[in-house]
Amino acid sequence: MKLILASRSPRRQELLAMTGFPFEVAPSPCDEEKVLRQWEQSDTDLNERSLVERLALAKATTSLREHPDCLILGADTIVSLDGELFGKPKDEDDARRMLRTLAGRTHTVDTGVALLTATFSDVFSNVSHVTFHPLSPVIESLIDRYVATGLPLDKAGAYGIQELGGLLISRIEGDFFSVMGLPISEVYKRLAAFDID
């Protein structure tokens, strides 16, 4: 069975490559914003874990329509603090605002994963808690330098743990790779049950 990664994220591609399983990249055409708006109207009690699992499943389901004979891996990551979701920043100012808001506090990173075939569905998630250093002249300068690279603009919470944004972190409780975008150890164990070619 062919494995399809339904994500354009280079971090997820890098992590999935660690498993040694062959895979193809075919980003899901799922409209995340539309799906989120529908859920917000119909289910106001969604918590972060349910939301991230539903988003991963929505991405995988949309991809399965295009690749019905394949094993689809869909994933999504949500950063939240006190019930507020920190998605991808709109621009550099929004990225700076997010990083300053997270400074000195512990936020939650939920990563949902969906493994889907025409006859099988496995949806799970992983939660980690990440603490940023408090704001100081050094951290302010680091935020400005990081935002100027443009790297935060395509990431939930405006940072990547595996790059310059990782220097903002003072502590992590949980799975480093899940914060990066995929709980790859758990994914590997579940993929091992399939005959992937």
For the chain, domains (ranges, CATH) are 3-191 (3.90.950.10)
What 3-state DSSP class applies to 116?
A: strand
Per the DSSP assignment, residues forming a β-bridge with 71 are 3
Per the DSSP assignment, residues forming a β-bridge with 86 are 79
Per-residue confidence (pLDDT) for residue 103, from 0 to 100: 98
Per-residue confidence (pLDDT) for residue 160, from 0 to 100: 95
CA distance 74 to 84: 23
CA distance 136 to 31: 38
CA distance 188 to 19: 6
């006190």: which residue's tokens? 82
CA distance 53 to 135: 32
- Reference 120, options 38, 195, 177; nearest CA is 195
Per-residue confidence (pLDDT) for residue 30, from 0 to 100: 85
Per-residue confidence (pLDDT) for residue 83, from 0 to 100: 85
Strand 3-5 and strand 24-25: the pairing is: parallel
**Which is catalytic among the residues 43, 45, 69, 76?**
76
Per-residue confidence (pLDDT) for residue 57, from 0 to 100: 96
Per-residue confidence (pLDDT) for residue 106, from 0 to 100: 98
Q: What is the CA radius of gyration of the chain?
A: 17
Number of Cβ within a 10 Å radius of residue 90: 10
pLDDT < 50 positions in the chain: none
CA distance 24 to 175: 25
**69 assigned to active site:** no
CA distance 25 to 30: 15
CA distance 156 to 42: 24
